[in-house]
Structure 1
Amino acid sequence: MKSVLALLQFCTSLPLGRPVEFEHFARRSYLYPLAGYVIGGIAAGIVYWIASPTVAATVALAAVLILSGCNHFDGLLDFGDGLMAHGSREKRVAAMTDRTTGAGAVAAGIIVTLLAYSGLQSVANLPAAILVAEVCAKVAMSYLTTLGVPFREGIHSYLHGYAKPWFLIPATVLALPLFLLPLPRLGIALALAGTGIIAALMLALSRRLFGGVNGDVVGATNEIVRAGTILLLALM
């Protein structure tokens, strides 16, 4: 339970009392999907009562961002700056890790948010879709934490130091209850497959551009996988 509490204190803005030692979660980062169930479940419970797809999509995205403290969204913005920077690997890393917000950050935030927003308006079951998307996003975070070789010291390098290759198995297993939701099983299977594909692409891209992974890349992956999952479910 300490591991779960440390996870939720790290991934959410929920008031959960006295901070638990972060190492409890670091040793079990395969638990990431549980945070997806909590964040996505709360968001789904809120939008279940909203009839308008437009309003529900807005509220759903607002809920997941607020519940996560916008930490992963911040990673997306930083990743966007690094992605759009010109020049050497060192310049890209500097652009991603500095405190300023550039055009790349704005573009990344707008594009990913618009894709998720438009997709949510088209899905057959919006509450179930936001839950699936949030769990898949956290599965991807677990994958990158396990497989992403860090290029600098930080939270990601700390978590990666405790991660083991077998963490991929329980992280995936924790997503299997999604098949109980009132959505086509093929859609959920494709969502999980898409999660793995996006995670692999982010690993390859970050190795090429930055020489490895940091917390910004992991956070950006969370946001991109959420949007990608929503779009896939909308197209189904």
Structure 2
Amino acid sequence: MVKFLEALISFYTILPLRYHNLEYAAEYSYLSPLVVGFTTGSIAGIVCIILGWILPPCILAVIALSVLLLLTGFTHVDGLMDVADALMFRGSREERLKILHDKYCGSAAVITVLVVELTSIMSLTILICHSLLSAVIAIIIAEVVARIPHVILAYLGPLPNYHGLGYTFVSRMLGRVDKLVKMFILTLPVVIVLSLLAGITPKVILLLVVLLPLTLLYRAVIVRSFGFITGDILGASIELFRTVSLITLSIGL
């Protein structure tokens, strides 16, 4: 049990754990929303609690998001940038895939990341201004929920036509109803309990309701543009849906 926990955290974050096993991480990736999301969200939340008494909300929001991005080694941000550049290119799937995998960064990538992360910062600022404790819990919820589409996308596929990280993870999850059900059974109760503690249950329910259609919309755009799900596409989904989660949780405050 400890091995798969360490494998997940060591793969998805930069935390210095001794056990590194890609196959284990891929096999148990359906638990990443709960294990990884709760871990990264809790660490960022602790930082907020420590600094929340001396820093203004806007600065605290920047630090909180920076911690979240740093914990993942900015790999999901890199995926978002690659996907944005490739989607903006007007050409064949093969040409888009080349752009997805090249090392260059275009204007679409920069603007997309700025919009996504600045929106997250603004949403976090609103949450912190309302209540620091509720904001901390909202960060954990957002980190957990943001990884649910990652699992759904791997479950739905399609499988990439080349071997890479995306192939490894999608192949272990593709069509596995048992893993998808386990993910929901283990994750949703934790999310609901946290929402009750923060007093934001209606917003969390709204978030969960819109999550599936938005995930399917994202997948439709991706499949039409690339033909399958890659590692960059999975990583980009985490960044996008963290922002979606924070926006939803900050509504009406």
The TM-score by the shorter chain falls in which range?
A: over 0.9
Q: Using the alignment, how far apart are the partners of 1:16 and 1:127 within structure 2?
A: 25
Instruction: Find out whether 1:29 has 2:29 as its counterpart.
Output: yes
1:48-96 deviations in Å (ceiling 9; x for gaps): 2314210121011001001111111111011111111112222222111
The AA in structure 2 aligned to 1:225 is F
Instruction: Find out whether 1:143 has 2:152 as its counterpart.
Output: yes
Q: Which residue of 1 aligns with 2:235?
A: 219
Q: Which residue of 2 aligns with 1:170?
A: 182
Task: Assess if the C-alpha contact under 8 Å between 1:135 and 1:175 holds in 2.
Answer: no
Query: 1:136 deviation in Å?
Result: 0.8
TM-score normalised by structure 1 residue count: 0.94
Change (3 A) 1:183 1:93: farther
Q: Which residue of 1 aligns with 2:103?
A: 99
Query: 1:186 deviation in Å?
Result: 1.3
Query: 1:201 deviation in Å?
Result: 1.6
Q: Which residue of 2 aligns with 1:12?
A: 13
The AA in structure 2 aligned to 1:147 is L
Task: Assess if the C-alpha contact under 8 Å between 1:80 and 1:107 holds in 2.
Answer: no
Q: Which residue of 1 aligns with 2:167?
A: 157
Q: Using the alignment, how far apart are the partners of 1:156 and 1:12 within structure 2?
A: 17
Bigger shift: 60-69 or 88-97? 88-97
Q: Using the alignment, how far apart are the partners of 2:159 and 2:25 within structure 1?
A: 18
Bigger shift: 79-88 or 148-157? 148-157
Q: Using the alignment, how far apart are the partners of 1:197 and 1:116 within structure 2?
A: 21
Secondary structure at 1:101 match in 2: coil
1:111-150, aligned counterparts within 5 Å? 111-123=115-127, 124=130, 125-150=134-159
1:190-215 deviations in Å (ceiling 9; x for gaps): 22223323321221111001111101
Percent identity over the alignment is: 30
Taking only aligned residues, the RMSD between alpha carbons, in angstroms, comes to: 1.4
Gaps of 5+ in 1: none
Q: How many residues align?
A: 235
Task: Assess if the C-alpha contact under 8 Å between 2:10 and 2:17 holds in 1.
Answer: yes
Q: Using the alignment, how far apart are the partners of 1:200 and 1:146 within structure 2?
A: 12
